Chain A
Amino acid sequence: NAGVTQTPKFQVLKTGQSMTLQCAQDMNHNSMYWYRQDPGMGLRLIYYSASEGTTDKGEVPNGYNVSRLNKREFSLRLESAAPSQTSVYFCASSEGLQAFFGQGTRLTVV
């Protein structure tokens, strides 16, 4: 079982560029999440999807959009990247209380 797979693992963007972070889970979980973790800090919720077809804002949604493409996939889009969005992005899925996390995407915006 792959669990939660994020692509890409690393990305460098120039200010103003756009990109989409991909996340897929193979555990048939209903809920999926996107977090960002700044260096040496905790995780902040960007968006989440409690079930297929629904998405909701988290703590820091500004500058991001999400798409719950189907039950397996939940993508995060940066329309116009800013240096303040330099971070490690984690995707997670859960069925109940136990969330499973991907390995993270390390994004640098220059």
Chain B
Amino acid sequence: GESVGLHLPTLSVQEGDNSIINCAYSNSASDYFIWYKQESGKGPQFIIDIRSNMDKRQGQRVTVLLNKTVKHLSLQIAATQPGDSAVYFCAEMDSSYKLIFGSGTRLLVRP
């Protein structure tokens, strides 16, 4: 069957290294920005979110950075593991709860 992320940009990292996945967004009115992880054959899973009035938020092994000046969002994954291999999507939610997904990046972790 088809593979998630086949036509998306790919980031290849060595196991144990840090990964940085980038996303450009277009809607300045979005209230929240969210990162999702999608493994092959599954629906996306929530990773972390950040409110539009923040510029950094940390979770367990992940950090999200928001630069509203250039409309840029990034997800940093520390000590990348094989289980992190997946497609990562950024998403935006506005005040009407409309949830729009942005471009995705396929992360490959080399052993």
List the one stretch of B13-21, B65-73, B77-85, B90-98 in contact with chain A: B90-98
Contacts of A58 in B (CB 8 A): 98, 100
A41 vs B38: C-alpha distance when bound (angstroms): 12
Contacts of A41 in B (CB 8 A): 7-8
Q: How many A-B residue pairs have CB under 8 A?
A: 74
CB distance from A47 to the nearest CB of B (A): 10
User: A103 at the A/B interface (Cβ < 8 Å)?
Assistant: yes
Contacts of B59 in A (CB 8 A): none
How many residues from B make CB contacts under 8 Å with A? 28
Contacts of B104 in A (CB 8 A): 42
Interface centre among A37, A40, A92 (most CB of B within 10 A): A40
Contacts of A56 in B (CB 8 A): 96, 98
User: B101 at the A/B interface (Cβ < 8 Å)?
Assistant: yes
A106 vs B104: C-alpha distance when bound (angstroms): 20
Q: A35-B101, A97-B49 are contacts. A102–B43 as well, Cβ < 8 Å?
A: yes
User: B12 at the A/B interface (Cβ < 8 Å)?
Assistant: no
One of A4, A40, A42, A99 near B99 (C-beta < 8 A)? A99
User: B42 at the A/B interface (Cβ < 8 Å)?
Assistant: yes
User: B3 at the A/B interface (Cβ < 8 Å)?
Assistant: yes
Interface of A is mostly: strand
Query: Are A40 and B5 in contact, with the CB atoms below 8 A?
Result: yes
How many residues from A make CB contacts under 8 Å with B? 30
User: A94 at the A/B interface (Cβ < 8 Å)?
Assistant: yes
User: A74 at the A/B interface (Cβ < 8 Å)?
Assistant: no
Contacts of A43 in B (CB 8 A): 44, 89, 101
User: B28 at the A/B interface (Cβ < 8 Å)?
Assistant: no
Closest 9 CB pairs of A and B: A101-B43, A40-B6, A39-B2, A40-B7, A43-B101, A50-B97, A98-B46, A97-B49, A31-B97
Residues of B within 8 A of A (CB): 1-8, 32, 34, 36, 42-46, 49, 89, 93, 96-104
